Chain A
C-alpha cells in the first residue's frame, strides 16, 4: 500500500504485540564512499552504534551510522576484535578505506520501547480536559454535555515533518497504529478499522493465540 511505512498493534498493557514494516516503501539511505587519511567525518559511539556526529558531506548526514568497512558489515564498535574508532579509523595504514553509512532501521527492542512510550503518552494526552471539541459517543452527547468540560481521548493523530502516525484505540483498549507518509490522505479511519477486523478474525479466532501475547504470522501482504 503506497505511503504506509509500518503498522503496530499495542496490547492493553502497552506491550507491542504485532509489527509490520512495508519494506518496499522504505527508501535506502545507504551511501558508500572511499576516504583518504585523515578522515573528515567526525564519528562517535552513540547508542551502541558508530555514528556521524559532525561533518556532513556527499550525502552522508549527521545521525547516519557506520554500516560497513571495506564491504565488511559491522555491528557495534568492534571489527575483528579491533576497535573501529581507535584502531582502524585512527590508523593511517588502513587508508584508503571504503566506508558505508546509512540510517539504521529500528530494532525489535527499540520498537517495544517506543510502543510502551506511546502507550504512556496516549494516557497523558487523555488527562487533558477541554470545553470545546467534537462531541463524543454515539448516543447523542447532548447539548448539556457539550457545554461542560469534556475529557479528552488519547492521541489520534501525530504529525512530524516527514511522517504521520494515526492511532485507533478500541473500546477494550487495544491500540492500532499506522505510520505513513505525509503525501497520502490523513484520514486512516477505514484502514484502521479494517486492520481491527483482520485482528479479530485472524488473531483472536486462532485458538492457539493467547490474549495479549505477540501475534506470530507467516505471511501478510498489505
Chain B
C-alpha cells in the first residue's frame, strides 16, 4: 500500500510481499493466543468490528482516489473493480466466475493467496478461516459505497481444496446512506 500515482497503479509491489504475509501471520498468531476459540478468531478477522471490516472502510477511499473510478450500477462492474483492487493491493489477479442466474452473486477464484503463503494449518485449527480478513475488507469497502454484500470462503487452498474461492453475494443497496447527488 505504498504511495503511488493513478498512472502507475499497475506497477505495484513496491513493498515486498513477504513482509506483508509475515506481518499478517503474526497478527493471526496473536489472535489465536488472545482468543481460545477458533470461531472467535474468525469473527475478529472478519466481523463488524474486526480487522478486515475496518480496513475496508478506509481502503476504499484509497482505491477510489487512485483509480478515479466512479459508482458501480451493477454487480458486473463491482466484480471488475474488486478484481482490479486485488491486483492493486495484493498483486494477484483473481478470475471472476460462477455467476448466479440473477447476476447478483459471483465467485472470485484466487490461484495463489499471498496471505497464506508459507502457511500450514495444524490439525486443531482446522476450523480457522486463516484469510478471513479479506471478506471483511470487501464488505467494509463496499459498504462505504453503499452496497451491502455477503462474502464468504467456499473453498480454501489451506484446507486442501484445489483453489481458493471467495463467494460474493449482493444483499441490497444502502439507499439511506447514499450521498446527495449520487445515483
Q: Enumerate chain A residues within 8 angstroms of B61, measured Cβ to Cβ.
A: 170, 172, 174, 196, 199-200, 204
Partner of B181, one of A126, A137, A204: A126
Q: Are A122 and B68 in contact (CB under 8 A)?
A: no
Q: Enumerate chain B residues within 8 angstroms of A204, measured Cβ to Cβ.
A: 58, 61-62
> Mask for B118-146, Cβ within 8 A of A = 1, else 0?
00000000000000000000000000110
Q: Are A211 and B58 in contact (CB under 8 A)?
A: yes
Partner of A171, one of B57, B62, B71, B77: B71
B100 at the interface (CB under 8 A from A): no
Indicate whether A200 sits within 8 Å of B62 (C-beta atoms), given known contacts A137-B70, A193-B68, A205-B1.
Answer: yes
Alpha-carbon distance between A152 and B182 when the two chains are bound, in angstroms: 9
Closest to B143 in A: A172
Indicate whether A122 sits within 8 Å of B145 (C-beta atoms), given known contacts A170-B61, A172-B61.
Answer: no
B87 at the interface (CB under 8 A from A): no
Closest to B61 in A: A200
Q: Are A205 and B181 in contact (CB under 8 A)?
A: no
A201 at the interface (CB under 8 A from B): yes
Q: Enumerate chain B residues within 8 angstroms of A46, measured Cβ to Cβ.
A: none
Alpha-carbon distance between A107 and B42 when the two chains are bound, in angstroms: 48
Within 8 A of B (CB), among A136-162: 137-139, 151-154
Q: Are B58 and A151 in contact (CB under 8 A)?
A: no
Indicate whether A197 sits within 8 Å of B58 (C-beta atoms), given known contacts A125-B181, A139-B77, A169-B181.
Answer: no
Closest to B3 in A: A201
Q: Are B181 and A122 in contact (CB under 8 A)?
A: yes
Within 8 A of B (CB), among A200-215: 200-201, 204-205, 211
Q: Are B65 and A196 in contact (CB under 8 A)?
A: yes
Q: Enumerate chain A residues within 8 angstroms of B70, measured Cβ to Cβ.
A: 137-139, 171
Count A-B contacts at CB 8 Å.
Answer: 70
Interface centre among B68, B73, B77, B182 (most CB of A within 10 A): B182
Interface centre among B57, B62, B77, B179 (most CB of A within 10 A): B179
How far in angstroms is the closest Cβ of chain A from B75? 13
How far in angstroms is the closest Cβ of chain B from A119? 8
Indicate whether A169 sits within 8 Å of B73 (C-beta atoms), given known contacts A199-B61, A201-B62, A204-B61.
Answer: no
Partner of A172, one of B64, B73, B183: B64
Q: Are B182 and A171 in contact (CB under 8 A)?
A: yes
B159 at the interface (CB under 8 A from A): no
How far in angstroms is the closest Cβ of chain B from A187? 15
Q: Are B182 and A205 in contact (CB under 8 A)?
A: no
Q: Enumerate chain B residues within 8 angstroms of A196, measured Cβ to Cβ.
A: 61, 64-65
B69 at the interface (CB under 8 A from A): yes
Q: Enumerate chain B residues within 8 angstroms of A201, measured Cβ to Cβ.
A: 3, 62
How far in angstroms is the closest Cβ of chain B from A72? 47
> Mask for A169-196, Cβ within 8 A of B = 1, else 0?
1111110000000000000000001001
Q: Enumerate chain B residues within 8 angstroms of A77, measured Cβ to Cβ.
A: none
How far in angstroms is the closest Cβ of chain B from A205? 7
Partner of B144, one of A123, A153, A172: A172
How far in angstroms is the closest Cβ of chain A from B121? 28
4 closest cross-chain pairs (CB), A and B: A173-B179, A126-B181, A123-B180, A154-B181
Taking beta carbons and an 8 Å cutoff, which residues of A are in contact with B?
12, 122-123, 125-126, 137-139, 151-154, 169-174, 193, 196-197, 199-201, 204-205, 211
Task: List 25 contacting pairs A-B, 8 Å CB cutoff, sorted by A.
Answer: A12-B177, A122-B181, A123-B180, A123-B181, A125-B181, A139-B70, A139-B73, A139-B77, A153-B182, A154-B181, A169-B179, A169-B182, A170-B65, A172-B144, A173-B177, A173-B179, A196-B61, A197-B65, A199-B61, A200-B61, A200-B65, A200-B66, A205-B1, A205-B58, A205-B62
In the complex, besides A12-B179, A123-B181, A211-B58, 10 extra interface pairs with C-beta distance below 8 angstroms are A126-B180, A137-B70, A172-B64, A174-B61, A193-B65, A196-B64, A197-B65, A201-B62, A204-B58, A204-B62
